[in-house]
């Protein structure tokens, strides 16, 4: 009789012990909440950008604005419009970032930039005689001039998307123009130069 009851007792004892262990075992701690996702500084997380541009003979004149799209940190493509004092100036540009870096925390992005652009602008000689009745009028008839320019610079971006850029370079006239004097009596005209030094500053926001 004992050989029949013994195995049953062993099974009951094992079930009781396992149940007791389950009741006293601590509940697993909940997994810590995942940190909220945030954007890092840089064009990887801020592909669109709006700029206010000012300076000397920039691709949008003395003052203007531009809108750009960046498929990634190394490249931006954009269009812009502004004024050089004689009329509107239109442009298209591409900016390469051959060297760039981001802080480990992602709070600041900076890059060295190489930019090329083409633009069109109304141009005049920009020179007038004042206080001289007998001086000849050598101003030219304004006309549209197309420009190609290149610039080297630096730019930075904060995590909130605020950007700053400074660059310098040269703009060269594309093709040739036949200038005409405004005054029919003028023997020669003060034609504008074919090359300008460019100094650009830009404040913007990327999103």
Q: Taking the domain 48-206, which CATH number applies?
A: 2.40.160
Residue 133 has what pLDDT?
A: 58
- pLDDT surpassing 90 at residue 37: no
Distance (Å) of CA 134 to CA 126, 130, 140: 19, 10, 18
Query: What would the two tokens of residue 32 be?
Result: 């810590």
Which pLDDT value is given to residue 3? 47
Q: How far apart are CA 128 and CA 74, in angstroms?
A: 45
Task: Over range 80-107, report the average pLDDT.
Answer: 95
Question: Could you give the CA distance from residue 3 to residue 10 in angstroms, rounded to a whole number?
Answer: 11
pLDDT bin (cut points 50, 70, 90) of residue 174 is very high
The span from the CA of 11 to the CA of 5, in Å, is: 10
Mean pLDDT of 88-94: 96
Query: Reduced to 3 states, what is the DSSP secondary structure of residue 109?
Result: strand
Interval 130-156: pLDDT, tens: 555 566 667 888 899 999 999 999 999
Contact (Cβ atoms closer than 8 angstroms) between residue 75 and residue 47: no
Confidence grade of residue 41 (pLDDT, cut at 50, 70, 90): very high
Q: Measured between alpha carbons, how far is 148 from 81 in angstroms, rounded to an integer? A: 15
Using 50, 70 and 90 to split pLDDT, how confident is the model at 34?
A: very low
Q: What angle do CA 20, 23, 26 make, to 5 degrees?
A: 130
The answer to whether 173 touches 121, Cβ cutoff 8 Å, is no
Higher local confidence (pLDDT), 177 or 42: 42
Question: Is the model's pLDDT at 24 over the cut of 50?
Answer: no
Select from 154, 172, 159, 165 the least CA-distant residue to 57.
172
Distance CA 135, CA 87 (A): 27
**So what's the pLDDT on residue 207?**
96
pTM of the entire predicted model = 0.75
Question: Exposed/middle/buried for 199, CB within 10 Å: 0-12, 13-18, 19+?
Answer: middle
Sequence ranges of the domains in the chain: 48-206
């Amino acid at each position: 009789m004992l050989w029949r009851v013994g195995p049953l007792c062993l099974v009951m004892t094992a079930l009781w012990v396992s149940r007791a262990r389950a009741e006293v075992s601590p509940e697993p701690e909940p997994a810590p909440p995942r940190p909220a996702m945030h954007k890092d500084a840089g064009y990887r997380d801020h592909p669109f950008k709006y700029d206010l541009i000012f300076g000397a003979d920039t691709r949008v004149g003395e003052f203007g604005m531009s809108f750009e799209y960046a498929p990634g940190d190394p490249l931006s493509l954009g269009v812009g419009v502004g004024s050089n004092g004689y009329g509107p100036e239109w442009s298209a540009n591409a900016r390469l970032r051959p060297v760039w870096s981001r802080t480990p925390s992602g709070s600041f992005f900076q890059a060295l930039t190489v930019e090329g652009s083409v633009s069109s602008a109304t141009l005049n000689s920009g020179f007038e005689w004042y206080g001289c009745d007998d001086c000849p009028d050598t101003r030219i008839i304004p006309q549209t001039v197309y420009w190609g320019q290149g610039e080297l610079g630096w730019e930075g971006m904060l995590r909130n998307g605020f950007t700053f850029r400074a660059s310098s370079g040269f703009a060269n006239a594309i093709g040739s123009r036949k200038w005409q004097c405004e005054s029919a009596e003028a023997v020669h005209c003060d034609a504008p130069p074919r090359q300008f030094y460019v100094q650009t500053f830009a404040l913007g926001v990327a999103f």
